[in-house]
Amino acid sequence: MRSQPLVIFGITGRMGQALIRALREGSQFHLHCAVASSTSSRLGQDAAAEGPATGVAVIADAALVLPPGSVALEFSDGSALAAHARACSEAGVPLLVGSTGFDPATLPALTRAAAKIPVLLAPNTSIGVAVLSKLVKQAAAALGAAYDIEIVEAHHAMKRDAPSGTALSLGEAAAQARGIALEAVAAYDRHAAAMPRTPGSIGFSSVRAGDIVGEHTVMFATQGERLELTHRATDRITFARGALRAAAWLSLQPKGLYRMADIVGL
């Protein structure tokens, strides 16, 4: 069986390189297009920064041609996400969006694309995190409003957005279980708040240090007890493997907007 072509936006980043490692393990995909920004110093070089060469050169968007039957993975900084979504929509290519911290104004572009192609919003492509999200929703519903919710996340020093997209998605899962909108109860910064915790709020704390790949803990606390649900990633290839599994699933779906929970049947 012939492998499917894979297009990776953001090939020079940490996830782009982790995806190359995961492809070497064996996959139904082969790297076809490796895309970086027009200012990248690696344009024209092999997609792999280290290890065996892929035989695929890094290109900019202007040189991109999306082949039929391909799947696109978006792991760039998000600045070109709307343009990438439009290109995939016009070419009929499924798109997995793993970028986080992109401008909310980009969401309508993704919604428009999802009217023509399958689009998967995946701020975290770990299968374990998809299961964690389900557990958070169940815990929030079962424990009720008497339990305070705090979400603590930690990532490497170079990560730009805070809280992480994964932390926000976990907060949304908890808020949904309580029948409320996250933005109505989210507490992102208590530095200037000279007051006790607001009942019913969902708090977020972010750590940026060293080379931490990714850690997320959702804490449910009340008088006398505390429940913590934690996921720790120790190697970015975990996310790459999950992304390839998600891409394989996405290639078989009809047009629409999907989440990682759909991958594992939750």
Q: Which residues are catalytic?
A: 155, 159
Cα atoms found within 13 Å of the Cα of residue 112, Cβ hemisphere only: 15
- In 3D space, the residue among 178, 184, 167, 188 whose CA is nearest the CA of residue 137 turns out to be 178
Residue that the structure tokens 């996959």 belong to:
27
Is the Cβ–Cβ distance between 139 and 221 less than 8 Å? Answer: no
- In 3D space, the residue among 138, 37, 139, 130 whose CA is nearest the CA of residue 81 turns out to be 37
Angle, vertex CA 169, rays to CA 165 and CA 174, nearest 5: 150
CA–CA separation, 157 vs 239, rounded Å? Answer: 18
CA–CA separation, 76 vs 240, rounded Å? Answer: 14
